Structure 1
Amino acid sequence: MDILETLKTLWESSGFHSFLVDGGWKNLIMIAVSCVLLYLGIKKKFEPLLLVGIAFGCLLVNLSYFGAGSADALYHMDLWDNFLNHDHPDYHSYGAIMRNGGLLDILYIGVKAGIYPSLIFMGVGAMTDFGPLISNPKSLLLGAAAQMGVFLAFFGAVCLGFSGNQAASIGIIGGADGPTAIFLTTKLAPELLGPIAIAAYSYMALIPMIQPPLMKLLTTKKEREVKMEQSRTVSKTEKILFPIIVAMFVILLLPSTAPLIGCLMLGNLWRECGVTERLSDTVQNALMNIVTVFLGISVGATTAAERFLSLETIKIIVLGLTAFCFSTVGGLLVGKIMYKVTGGKVNPLIGSAGVSAVPMAARVSQMEGQKANPSNFLLMHAMGPNVAGVIGSAIAAGFLLAVFK
């Protein structure tokens, strides 16, 4: 009899029992979704460094569905719901998660506290050459124009019934900057983190498919053929002063941007100052890789079936695509204006690189330019708007955070 009771207990505590008896079919759907994401990340190479981790985090949290309320669960939504119900969460709130949380709960603290996205920005800063932007400050206009989709998607989300906080988090997908989307969403609408993060990184990976049709639709062959003049050489002093000046100006203007802009510019200063090669190398490689591991798994943990499988998720995916398309359109339209104003010296294709997916968006501008004119080399010209888009998306996030926090 004891053996039968033991077998019964083992069966009732297994995930198979939950799937078959306790309505775990939704989790089976999410497990299938995670497998699709793994396929896209591994086979199709869609943002694999993060998508593989997000997909596996999704797999883990839905496999551990049977322990949703027990000490064995990897992620406890109820603990985070209690945390979010506090107007001012303190160390006692984090203490409850540390005492009672699972592995993914503890890793998720780095997302909630804004640590992982900020450190990712530090790595991006260390890997980015701001020289093309410094040599052509007009690129800032293209980076700013490419944030148009953020605000259009925001108003669209409000019209579809989302709250202001949720609409702001959805809109930032248009910035094509995964860490920024995660940072803002954890502050304003953490309940939407899973679908927003997956939408953001999926559309970033699909840039080579999404942007070219819009580029051809909005530009003429003559415009795409334009060869741009070589940019001036930027001095070492300019490159050192740039991150310091930008940090001072932007953070004073929007203090809420301090974590992202501060880390971005610190990483870039380590790259450019010439006396911190070891730190720059560590941030670009070891630290970036470690944080990417934690960030991907933690974000994947928020895709539990009971929260992810909803009509809201479909709306977010559609709005995210709309935001991304309009951001691309905004950059292209301002690029066309600059083409006219300069008498045909600016190729409008570089405007599409104003979305902050570095350096993929710049590469797409280069590829489309070469298709129109094989002797065209737009990559360095497109990098100006591209890195301006990184700064622009952080500023847009800071503005939305200041308004809705």
Structure 2
Amino acid sequence: MNIGEVLTNLWQSSGFANITINEIIMISVACVLIYLAIAKQFEPLLLLPIAFGMLLVNLPLANIMGAPEGTSSGGLLYYLYQGVKLNIYPPLIFLGVGVMTDFGPLLANPSSVLMGAGAQFGIFFAFTLAILLGFTPQEAASIGIIGGADGPTAIFLTSKLAPTLLGPIAVAAYSYMALVPMIQPPLMKLLTTDEERTVKMGQLREVKKVEKIVFPIVVAILVILLLPSVAPLVGMLMLGNLFKESGVVGRLTDTAQNGLINVITIFLGTSVGATAKADVFIRVDTLKIIAIGMTAFAVATIGGLIIGKIMYKVTKGKINPLIGSAGVSAVPMAARVSQVVGQEYDKSNFLLMHAMGPNVAGVIGSAVAAGVLLSMFG
């Protein structure tokens, strides 16, 4: 064999000779997402591993998501993906989220749960829209949950109802979570008046420790009895919160909110990104999912704002409706957006803690909505 044949064989067995135009498109999309994660810091903790997983799976012949076959042991991400397929990763993410969540603002102002509930309207609006666009009920339910702005819940529901859509739905869900500071402010300004935006809300009452300890126990019991299908999500969320509020398991609290959630985030993001293969992702349905996801998120924001405006009227101007936009469960980014927009109109106005009430209510609300959809179509 001469050197020419060696080089020819090397070229023909390389990815360069086997790459398709669709794979080139997907690699380009992955690079754009990597840029947004690093340069723009759009939800980098998840967008970066998702984008790199997308990059790896679209490099031809790498077989990084290949299943075991014959003498082949299978690709690395195939094994990591089993944690998604078996619904292990999303509940563990919720464990860490629970540790990092303070339900105090919700307990101090229980009426804020109404704004969190109002934001869930985007989920069911998107579900209806997806049905009208030809998706099956299971697919429509998975697409609709994007409106909750809760990535782990979207992955949890989609992996059960429509696993073939996991890549596009995960990318859409986390992309819109990252774009909260761009999507929400125009809607907030459009739907509220100058007078409403400058409302100063009174200081929240101090929540007793016993209330914070009892809350996750009561929520776990009530929600899981009502919707057993969301026991993994709600159970882990409330367990994590109980770790934090009990004050007696410092090591477990530290592990859940640092080491554990960081490791699971890497595994979850990379393996979910690896489901976005060119032959699955580049379809008309993907464009529909992205469009419906944007609509879902916008309608969810509008739903929270409308409830906020109603509460402003009912309380005779004591509630600033801007905090209603935080009803989507992008914690704490959506609450920060409420604070930023409020301070554009009054520098002395501090809405962050008030916005955290509907924000954490949205986390529970999106899990409940997922449970309702799973009960109906699972």
TM-score, scaled to structure 1:
0.91
Match in the other structure for 2:12: 12
Q: CA 1:229/1:97 → structure 2, altered by over 3 Å: closer, same or farther? A: farther
Q: 3-state SS of the aligned residue for 1:134? A: helix
CA distance in 2, matches of 1:197, 1:52: 13
CA distance in 1, matches of 2:4, 2:36: 44
Match in the other structure for 1:47: 43
Could you tell me which amino acid in structure 1 is paired with residue 360 of structure 2?
Answer: V
* Matches for 1:232-381 after TM superposition, within 5 Å: 232-381=205-354
Of the three residues 82, 105, 117, the one matched with 2:90 is 117
CA distance in 2, matches of 1:53, 1:97: 30
Could you tell me which amino acid in structure 2 is paired with residue 399 of structure 1?
Answer: V
CA distance in 2, matches of 1:26, 1:170: 23
Match in the other structure for 1:385: 358
Unaligned runs of 5+ in 1: 68-72, 80-94
Of the three residues 205, 227, 230, the one matched with 2:200 is 227
Shift of 1:12: 2.5
Shift of 1:98: 12
CA contact (8 A) 1:97 1:106 kept: no
CA distance in 1, matches of 2:340, 2:57: 40
Q: CA 1:372/1:103 → structure 2, altered by over 3 Å: closer, same or farther? A: same
CA distance in 2, matches of 1:97, 1:230: 66
CA distance in 2, matches of 1:232, 1:196: 39
Q: Does 1:74 align with 2:64?
A: yes
Shift of 1:14: 1.0
Of the three residues 23, 26, 29, the one matched with 1:27 is 23
Shift of 1:174: 0.2
Match in the other structure for 1:92: none
Cα deviation code 1:183-222 (max 9, x no counterpart): 1111111111111111111111111111111111111010
Shift of 1:135: 1.0
CA distance in 1, matches of 2:41, 2:3: 49
Could you tell me which amino acid in structure 2 is paired with residue 12 of structure 1?
Answer: Q
CA contact (8 A) 1:120 1:179 kept: yes
Q: 3-state SS of the aligned residue for 2:256? A: helix
Q: Does 1:395 align with 2:371?
A: no
CA contact (8 A) 1:158 1:164 kept: yes
Q: 3-state SS of the aligned residue for 1:35? A: helix
Q: What is the count of residue pairs matched by the alignment?
A: 378
Cα deviation code 1:291-327 (max 9, x no counterpart): 1111111011001101101111110110000000000
CA distance in 1, matches of 2:198, 2:21: 54
Q: Does 1:168 align with 2:163?
A: no
Could you tell me which amino acid in structure 1 is paired with residue 345 of structure 2?
Answer: A
Unaligned runs of 5+ in 2: none
Q: 3-state SS of the aligned residue for 1:162? A: coil
Could you tell me which amino acid in structure 1 is paired with residue 185 of structure 2?
Answer: P
CA distance in 1, matches of 2:238, 2:152: 15
Equivalent pairs: percent with the same residue?
67
Q: CA 1:320/1:165 → structure 2, altered by over 3 Å: closer, same or farther? A: same
CA distance in 2, matches of 1:150, 1:188: 15
Q: Does 1:59 align with 2:49?
A: no
Could you tell me which amino acid in structure 2 is paired with residue 401 of structure 1?
Answer: L
Q: 3-state SS of the aligned residue for 1:104? A: helix
Match in the other structure for 2:111: 138
CA contact (8 A) 1:97 1:105 kept: no
TM-score, scaled to structure 2:
0.97
Q: CA 1:184/1:350 → structure 2, altered by over 3 Å: closer, same or farther? A: same
Shift of 1:277: 1.1
CA distance in 1, matches of 2:280, 2:253: 39
* Matches for 1:84-103 after TM superposition, within 5 Å: 100-103=73-76
Could you tell me which amino acid in structure 2 is paired with residue 53 of structure 1?
Answer: P
What's the C-alpha RMSD, in Å, of the aligned pairs? 1.5
